[in-house]
C-alpha cells in the first residue's frame, strides 16, 4: 500500500456523498478501507463528523431577517436615488454644454454684426466679445491655481463636517 493509495482514499472519502464517485472508485475505496485501518478510522470519523455537524440547528431569528430586509430596501432606495441624481447631473451637464456652445456661437455672430456696424475688423471684435464673456471664469480659474487652498474650500469642508456631525447625532 503506497502513500498515493492513502491520498486517493482520503480524496474519495472527502468527495463521497456530495460529488459523483464512479462505481469503480467506490469499490476500490471499499477494498482499500477494508485493508487499511488508518483510512477506515478516518472514513468513520469523517462520517461521524458530518452526522454531528448536520445535527446543529442554528436558525436566524425572524427579527434579524426583517431588520436585514428593511435595511436592504432602504439602501436599495438610496442607491436608486443616487443613480437617478447622477443621471440628472449628466443630463444637466449635456444641456449646459449645448447651451454654452449655442450662446458662444450667437455671441460670435453678434461680434461680427457689431464689427460691421462700428467699422472695426471682425477678427478683433468677435474674439474680444468671447474673451469678455469668459473673463470671470478665467479669473476664478487663475485664482484657484494661484491659491491651491482657497478660503471657500475650508468653509466647504467645515460645512460638510457639520452636516456629518448632525447625521451622527
- Binding residues for other proteins, per CB under 8 A? 10-11, 14-15, 17-19, 42, 45-46, 48-50, 52-60, 64-65, 67-69, 71-73, 75-76, 79-80
| Beta carbon of residue 99, minimum distance to other proteins (angstroms, whole number) | 34
Q: Which is nearer to other proteins, 17 or 154 (CB)?
A: 17
Q: Which is nearer to other proteins, 16 or 122 (CB)?
A: 16
Q: In this structure, which long-range contacts are made by residues 33-40, counting pairs with CB atoms below 8 Å and at least 24 apart in sequence?
A: 33/9, 35/1, 36/1, 36/5, 36/6, 36/9, 38/6, 39/6, 39/9, 39/10, 39/13
| Beta carbon of residue 73, minimum distance to other proteins (angstroms, whole number) | 5
| Beta carbon of residue 25, minimum distance to other proteins (angstroms, whole number) | 14
**Measured between alpha carbons, how far is 30 from 110 in angstroms, rounded to an integer?**
96
Is the separation of the CB atoms in 13 and 30 below 8 Å?
no
Q: Which is nearer to other proteins, 60 or 146 (CB)?
A: 60
Amino acid at each position: 500500500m503506497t502513500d498515493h493509495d492513502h491520498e486517493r482514499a482520503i480524496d474519495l472519502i472527502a468527495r463521497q456523498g456530495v460529488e459523483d464517485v464512479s462505481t469503480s472508485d467506490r469499490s476500490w475505496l471499499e477494498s482499500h478501507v477494508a485493508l487499511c485501518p488508518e483510512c477506515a478510522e478516518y472514513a468513520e470519523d469523517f462520517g461521524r463528523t458530518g452526522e454531528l455537524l448536520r445535527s446543529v440547528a442554528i436558525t436566524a431569528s425572524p427579527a434579524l431577517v426583517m431588520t436585514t430586509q428593511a435595511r436592504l430596501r432602504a439602501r436599495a432606495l438610496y442607491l436608486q436615488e443616487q443613480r437617478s441624481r447622477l443621471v440628472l447631473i449628466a443630463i444637466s451637464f449635456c444641456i449646459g454644454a449645448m447651451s454654452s456652445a449655442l450662446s458662444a456661437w450667437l455671441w460670435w455672430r453678434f461680434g461680427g454684426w457689431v464689427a460691421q456696424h462700428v467699422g472695426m475688423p471682425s477678427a478683433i471684435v468677435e474674439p474680444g466679445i468671447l474673451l469678455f464673456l469668459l473673463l470671470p471664469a478665467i479669473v476664478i480659474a487663475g485664482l484657484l491655481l494661484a491659491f491651491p487652498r482657497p478660503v471657500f474650500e475650508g468653509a466647504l469642508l467645515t460645512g460638510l463636517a457639520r452636516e456629518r456631525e448632525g447625521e451622527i447625532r
